[in-house]
Structure 1
Amino acid sequence: MLSRCNAFSKRVLSCSVIFIPVLFCVIVCTYFFPDKALAVPAFARQTHQACAACHIGGFGPQLTPYGRQFKLLGYTLKAGSDTKVPLALMLVESYTHTSKAQTAPPANGFNTNNNTQLQQASVFVAGRISDHMGMLAQATYQQSSGLFGWDNSDLRYARSLSTANHTAIWGVSLNNNPSLSDVFNTSPAWQFPYTSSNLTPAAPAVPILMGGLAQQAVGLDAYTQIDSALYVEGGVYRTLSPAFLRDVNASYGGRVAGVAPYARLAYTWNLENGNLELGGLAFNARRGLTGASSAGQTVAVAGPSDSFRDMGVDASYQFLNGGDHIVTASALYLHERERLDATYASGGSSHLHDSLHAVNLDASYWYQNTWGATFGASSSDGSNDVIRYSNNGSPNTDSRMVELDWNPFGKANSWVAPFVNMRLGLQYTWYTKFAGLVHNIDGAGRNAADNDTLYLYLWMAI
C-alpha cells in the first residue's frame, strides 16, 4: 500500500507550510462541527474519555492505570453504540540548537545549527475492530528524510476472565517493534524522552533492544495480567525483507537468523494513591551484516551472524492522588552480551566478544495535568573497541536532560474535549561524556559539551 509513498510524500507532505493551514482548518471544523469531525484522537472518541484518563499530563505516551488496562484489553473499551471513524493526526514541529555548530549538516536541506523542521507528521488508524480485537497503526512523514512510511503498529486480540478468587486478562499482540507491546514507560519503545531532536549527534552504541529492530521486524507476543498485578509476556520476532522495508520506507539493518525471542515479567503493587512496578525483560537476536547491491540498495550479506543477548531490570512509580499533583519515576538498566562472529570475521571489530550497558532514569512532576517538569539521565558504556568506535574506541556516553511542558488541553473541561490535544515543550540536554571523552571527542577539537542541545517543540494530536 505504501509502495509509492515517497512520491506521495513529495506531492502532499513536502513541508510544514502545507500542514499549518490544514491543521488550522481541522481545529476550526472540530470546534464548530464536533459531530462531523473525522481527524480527531480516535481512542478519545471511542471511550468518550478525556485524554488525561489514559495519559499522565493529558497527553501520550505515558499511561495511567486506566490507560494500561485499555491497552491490555486490545484497545476495545468503548462508550455508546455510535460508530466512530478510527483516524487521528499527529504533528511535531521543532527547533534544534546545539552549543556548537556541527561540522556538517545533519541531513540534506538543513544547516549545521539552528534548524526548524516538521519533525513528524503521522496518520493513525486506531481503535476497536470487534469485541475482542483492536489496533494502533501509525504511518509517519519526516522532513529530515523526506520519506513517508510505516511506524509503530500493534494489532491485538484480548479477552478477560474471572474466577471466584482471581481475575485475568490475556491476549496476543502482532507488532513491529520489540517492547512496543509493553504498558510500562520503562520499556525501550516508550521510555523518556518521548520526543527528542533527530538532528543532533547520537550515542555511538546502545543495546539492540533500544530500537535496533524498530519497524524492521514483525513479532507475535502472548501476554497475561493476573489480578491487575502479575504481568507475563513472551514472543518471537523476525526481520522483514529488504524489498518490503524499502516499499514502506523503513531502514534495514540486517537479517535476523531464525527468530528473536522476547520475554517480559513485571509485578505491580496498587497503592492507595498510586502504584509501584518492578520487572525484568530479555531479548536475544542473531543478526547478519548488510551490503550494497549492484543497484545501490541495502541487502543482506550471506555468512555468519552477530549474537546480541539483552537482559534488563526496570522499576516505575506513580503518585496520582486525584490528579492535582502527580509524581512519576522510572528506571531501566540493560546489559547486552555480544558475540560478533560476522563483524569480527569481516574486520569490523577488534574483539569477538563485546558488551554494552545502558541506564535510563527519569522523574516527573505534573500540576493538574497541565504544567510538567521532568529530569532525566542516561548513560551507555561498554567494551573498548578501536575499530567499532572511532577516535577513542569507547561507546561511553553520559547525558542529563531537563524538560518543561505545557499541555493546555486533554482534560475533561478542556476546549473541545476530548478531540484536541497539544503539548508545548522546552528540552535541554547536556553531556558530561561523549564517545568516552570529555574533550576532543572527534579528533578535531570538538568537546562533549559542544553537543549540548536546546530543543523546542510543538506536538499536536487531533
Structure 2
Amino acid sequence: MQKRRNKLNIGGQWPLLALLMILMVGIIPKANAIPAFSRQVNMPCTSCHVGGYGPQLTPFGRQFKLTGYTMKSGSSGVTPKVSLELVESFTHTQKDQAGGAAPGFGSNNNWEFQTAGVYLAGAISDHLGMLMQVSYSENGHRVEWDMTDIRYARQAKFGSHSAVWGITLNNNPTISDLYNTGAAWQYPYFGPDLAPGSVATPIVNGGLMNGVLGLTAYTQIDGKLYFEGGLYKFPSKSFIDHVNGMYPGRLDIPAPYLRAAYQASLGSASNLEVGALFFEPRLIPMSSMGMSTQSDNYKDYGVDASYEWFGGTKHAITVQGQYVHEKQTLNNSFAVGASSNLHNRLNSFNINANYWYESTYGATLGAFTTNGSRDAMLYSAASSNDSPNTSGGSMELNWVPFGKGNSWAQPYANLRVGLQYTFYTKFNGTSSHASDNNTLYLYFQTYLF
C-alpha cells in the first residue's frame, strides 16, 4: 500500500520560505554542509538506522530519539544543522490512469522530481533538540510544512530504577513514537504519489498529519517500559495557510493520544517490543462548516509489535506489525448527508519483514488489509460497492552504496535506490480489476550535506 502524504495547494509559499530562513539564520550562524544527525554524533547513519536509512531505528537510534536528539560528539560543532533530501522517482501502474496520474503528468510511466526536503535537525541545548522538515514536490509544485518533532528530555533516578522523561511538540500523531511502528514511519517508508490509493484508513494513520500540533509527555523506565500521552489540536487556519499545511476542519476539543510499549532484550543481538495506542479526535469537517456544529467522533485502538536481530555488522532482520480498530460516530457527516450511516467501523492491519546484508543490500516483504462498514455516501465515488475494503502486498529491493562508515564522501553523500512492487487482491471493495492498480515504483533517494 502506497505511502501517502497529504499535500494541499494552499496559496502563499513565500511565508514558509521566510520562516525557514529565519530559523536557519536565527539558530545556525553557519550552515554546515553535512547530514545533521550523523555529524552531530560523529557516527555513520548505520549507527542509528537499520540499513543506513530510516525510519527503522537501531537500539542506539532509539536512545538518540528518546533523549531528544541531543547526543553530541566533542567535534560536532554548531547544532542544529541543515541537510537536504532529493528524491527522483518513476511510477508505472498496470493500467493507465484516465485523465493522467496528476495534473501535468501522463496516464502512465511517469518520472517525477518527487521531493526536495530541507531538514533542520539536532541539539539546540543539552536537553533540547529538534527534527523539522520543509518539502517541495513537483506534483502540484508545492512547498509545505512537513514533519516537526521538538523535544525536551532529561534523565532521572528513583531508588534502583532509572528513567528518561521528556516533552515533545510535534505535528503528527505517532511521529514522536520511539519504535516507529505507527503510520508516520510505517512501511512502505517511501512510496509513489502518482498511483491510486485506498479510499479509507483510520484517522490515526495520517488523517491529521501535518495539520495539527500536539504536546505530549513521555518516559521510558529501566529501558523497558515506555509511556506517552498528550493532546492534539489545530493551530489557527492563518498559521496553516502560511506553512501550506493540511486543514481538514477543527477539533471540537483537544484530541487525547495515549501510547504504551514494553521492550525486552533477547540476548545481546536482538530485541522485542509490544505496544498499544489510543487516539480520540472529534472533528468538525471543513467541508461542512456553517452547515452543522456537530462533530464526527473517532476512537482508534491500536496494537503493535516489532522484532530486531543483528548478526554482527553483516546481517540485520526486522519484523514490524500494527493493527488498528476504529469506531466512528459520524454526527456531522450523517447530519449533512455526507455519510449514509451514523456509526461505522474501520480496521487496518500492516506487517512487514526486512533483511539487510552489510547495510548495503536490503529486501522487504509486506502485507496490508483494510476493511470496514459499507457506506454509500462516504465511499461511492471511489468504490463500486460502497466498501473501503482493500488488501494486498508489496516487495522492495534496496541498494545503499553510500551512507556507511567507510563510504565515499561519508557523511556528505548518502544514497538509497529502491525498486518496489505493490499488488492488490482487493481494491476499494472489489476483487474485480484490483490488479489494475498494481504499481511498479523506482526511486533514488539522496541525502546531502
Q: Is the pair's TM-score, using the shorter chain for normalization, greater than 0.5?
A: yes
2:79 counterpart of 1:71: no
Match of 2:408 in 1: 415
Q: Secondary structure at the match of 2:102?
A: coil
8 Å CA contact 2:15, 2:243 repeated in 1: no
Alignment of 1:334-373 (within 5 A): 334-373=324-363
Correspondence for 2:294 among 300, 304, 309: 304
8 Å CA contact 1:290, 1:301 repeated in 2: no
Correspondence for 2:13 among 5, 10, 20: 5
1:163 is displaced (CA, Å) by 4.5
2:442 counterpart of 1:456: yes
Correspondence for 2:321 among 327, 331, 340: 331
Q: Secondary structure at the match of 2:435?
A: helix
1:274 is displaced (CA, Å) by 1.1
8 Å CA contact 2:57, 2:179 repeated in 1: yes
8 Å CA contact 2:291, 2:336 repeated in 1: no
Alignment of 1:50-449 (within 5 A): 50-84=44-78, 86-163=81-158, 165-272=160-267, 273-291=269-287, 302-390=292-380, 391-439=384-432, 447-449=433-435
Aligned-partner residue type, residue 409 of structure 2:
V
Aligned-partner residue type, residue 44 of structure 1:
S
8 Å CA contact 2:292, 2:336 repeated in 1: no
Structure 2: which 5+ runs fail to align? 1-9, 18-29
Instruction: Provide the rounded CA distance (Å) in 1 between the counterparts of 2:233 and 2:277.
Output: 18
1:39 is displaced (CA, Å) by 3.1
8 Å CA contact 1:208, 1:308 repeated in 2: yes
1:184 is displaced (CA, Å) by 1.1
Task: State, as a whole percentage, how many aligned pairs show the same letter.
Answer: 48
8 Å CA contact 2:360, 2:400 repeated in 1: yes
8 Å CA contact 2:16, 2:242 repeated in 1: no
1:187 is displaced (CA, Å) by 1.1
Kindly provide the CA deviation profile for residues 215-241 of structure 1, in whole angstroms up to 9, marking residues without a partner as x. 110000100001111000001000123
Kindly provide the CA deviation profile for residues 241-261 of structure 1, in whole angstroms up to 9, marking residues without a partner as x. 323212111221111111000
Q: Secondary structure at the match of 2:376?
A: coil
Instruction: Provide the rounded CA distance (Å) in 2 between the counterparts of 1:404 and 1:81.
Output: 36
Match of 1:49 in 2: 43
CA change 1:229–1:82 in 2 (3 A) is: closer
8 Å CA contact 1:402, 1:427 repeated in 2: yes
Aligned-partner residue type, residue 325 of structure 1:
H
8 Å CA contact 1:186, 1:315 repeated in 2: yes
Q: Secondary structure at the match of 1:180?
A: coil
8 Å CA contact 1:230, 1:268 repeated in 2: yes
Instruction: Provide the rounded CA distance (Å) in 2 between the counterparts of 1:123 and 1:211.
Output: 21
CA change 1:300–1:329 in 2 (3 A) is: farther
1:84 is displaced (CA, Å) by 3.2
Instruction: Provide the rounded CA distance (Å) in 1 between the counterparts of 2:33 and 2:258.
Output: 36
Aligned-partner residue type, residue 314 of structure 2:
D
Q: Secondary structure at the match of 1:282?
A: strand
CA change 1:255–1:37 in 2 (3 A) is: closer
CA change 1:435–1:243 in 2 (3 A) is: same
Kindly provide the CA deviation profile for residues 129-188 of structure 1, in whole angstroms up to 9, marking residues without a partner as x. 000000001000011021101101011000112345222100000000011100213111
1:6 is displaced (CA, Å) by 5.6
Number of residue pairs the alignment of both structures matches: 422
Indicate the larger mover: 259-268 or 386-395: 386-395
1:7 is displaced (CA, Å) by 9.2
CA change 1:274–1:361 in 2 (3 A) is: same
Instruction: Provide the rounded CA distance (Å) in 2 between the counterparts of 1:47 and 1:7.
Output: 32
Kindly provide the CA deviation profile for residues 382-409 of structure 1, in whole angstroms up to 9, marking residues without a partner as x. 0011121112110000021000000111
Instruction: Provide the rounded CA distance (Å) in 1 between the counterparts of 2:314 and 2:65.
Output: 24
TM-score (norm 1): 0.88
Aligned-partner residue type, residue 322 of structure 2:
L
CA change 1:437–1:54 in 2 (3 A) is: same
Match of 2:25 in 1: none
Instruction: Provide the rounded CA distance (Å) in 2 between the counterparts of 1:281 and 1:70.
Output: 22
